[in-house]
Amino acid sequence: MIGKKVLETEPVPTAEVKEILEGFAAEHDLTYEQNLTLDHVIKFSKLELEDSNKLIGELEELLKKKYAVRITDMLPEDLADLRLLFAKERIPIKNEDMEQILKIVDKYRTE
């Protein structure tokens, strides 16, 4: 059987996807799907790559990386928004931790 096997997966923030696709677009023609993805990350990426990585690093002290990346991409503004990100997850997060997460995210908000 000929096929591809996924060896490893790692969540990456939208800022990193934006950097990767912009670098690739400078050298090659993008496919339709890649163009759609680039347009999406340009519109919805809220932080620069450096700030995004710093925020993920701070959030990883409290959460797993996949949750830190999700919070970095969304930048929730209040507890309700943060709870929505974890609505389908089975991880217990205390209200004190959620408030601390929001304080960390507020430091990086550029609005």
The CATH number of domain 49-108 is 1.10.150.80: yes
In the chain, CATH 1.10.150.80 covers: 49-108
Nearest to 34 by CA among 23, 46, 48, 50: 23
Q: What is the pLDDT of residues 32-66, one digit of tens each?
A: 999 999 999 999 999 999 999 999 999 999 999 99
pLDDT at 110: 64
Mean of the per-residue pLDDT values of the chain = 92
pTM: 0.86
Q: What b/e string do you get for 5-23 counting C-beta neighbours within 10 Å, with b at 16 or more?
A: eeeeeeeebbbbbbbbbee
> Does residue 29 register a pLDDT over 60?
yes
> Does residue 18 register a pLDDT over 90?
yes
